[in-house]
Structure 1
């Protein structure tokens, strides 16, 4: 950083913030959905260009499917086992193991973190009622976040935004400018 220039916003940061805003706007109209999960998916999916965003979104979405399947399997077991903290603890570990195994089985090694995050978010926040619907809704939330991030990247590729950013940068102080490389 140059001296006196402590704050900068890059295009990826700007597009990520725009994606989060759009996620939250959409979720204002979608009852029983989780903007939190969709926002995390948007942050994870937003990259420097559409090609990279698509690659990361694919990893996130495949991880979400794997984590969601592992969570559904664990929820199924919870329905048939006695409720006890030891069983719950064991199932957390077995669910994580199942998540990792599914990632390896589907050659989705790059999705391990996203799959694990999806599994744990569902497993640790699942309500007592509507367990399956909850797991499916959280899985769909991830799709929404990834799709919104991809849409922002598709609509605002670097080539299209360079002139807009230059115009904006001419109008604001340097510390508020958007950097694009």
Structure 2
């Protein structure tokens, strides 16, 4: 049975800020004819925290994690191309590179960005054109930076709720 907690049935400032941030990503990408705002929107949602200082901290870490993930995806693409591998690289390579990615992020005390970095790895590795490896990865990390900066700006400009439970 589903239980509805009526005390939580409200729209808090963090919800408003997240929604505004995603909307601004969509608008900016449309104005710049930049393509899909998906990663920027996700970055905005992931980066938006209780206040702008926490948003800045997490946004920086997210961009760093995504840069590492993009680099790993480029490395696996290079190995796959140079050795002429197909599904073998897709299967074994992703297993090995996920172990390397997660281990690297843990060693760098960045375990809080593993989920987002993993998504970036998959997006870059499986959606990239063979002649656009570095360019594509850089653009996806830039999307993350844009989304994080939008979230940071929205969190700085819009007021924070006086009651943290409402965020």
Q: TM-score over 0.5 for the alignment?
A: yes
CA distance in 2, matches of 1:75, 1:32: 24
Contact 1:38 1:145 in 2 (8 A): yes
Unaligned runs of 5+ residues in structure 2 are none
Matched ranges for 1:168-179 at <5 A: none
Query: Deviation per CA, 1:73-116, whole angstroms, max 9, x where unpaired?
Result: 11221220213212221111122122123213433222222221
CA contact (8 A) 1:33 1:137 kept: no
TM-score normalized by structure 2? 0.84
2:105 matched to which residue of 1? Answer: 103
Hey, what's the Cα distance between the residues in 1 that align with 2:87 and 2:39? 26
Residue 53 (structure 1) shift: 1.6
Does the alignment pair 1:54 with 2:41?
A: no
Which blocks of at least 5 consecutive residues in structure 1 are unaligned? 163-178
What residue number does 2:134 align with? 132
Equivalent residue for 1:43? 45
Contact 2:80 2:86 in 1 (8 A): no
- TM-superposed deviation, 1:33: 4.2
8 Å Cα contact 1:63-1:115 kept in structure 2: yes
- Name the structure, 1 or 2, with higher relative contact order (CA <8 Å, separation 6+): 2
Match of residue 17, structure 1, among 13, 16, 19: 19
1-side partners of 2:86 and 2:22: how far apart?
Answer: 38
Q: CA RMSD in A?
A: 2.2
Whether the 8 Å CA contact 2:69–2:121 is kept in 1: the answer is yes
For the pair shown, the structure with the greater C-alpha radius of gyration is 1
Cα distance between partner residues in 2 of 1:133 and 1:157: 37
Relative to structure 1, the CA distance from residue 85 to residue 143 in structure 2 (aligned partners, 3 Å threshold; closer, same or farther) is same
1:151 aligns with 2:139: no
Q: How many angstroms does 1:180 deviate by?
A: 4.2
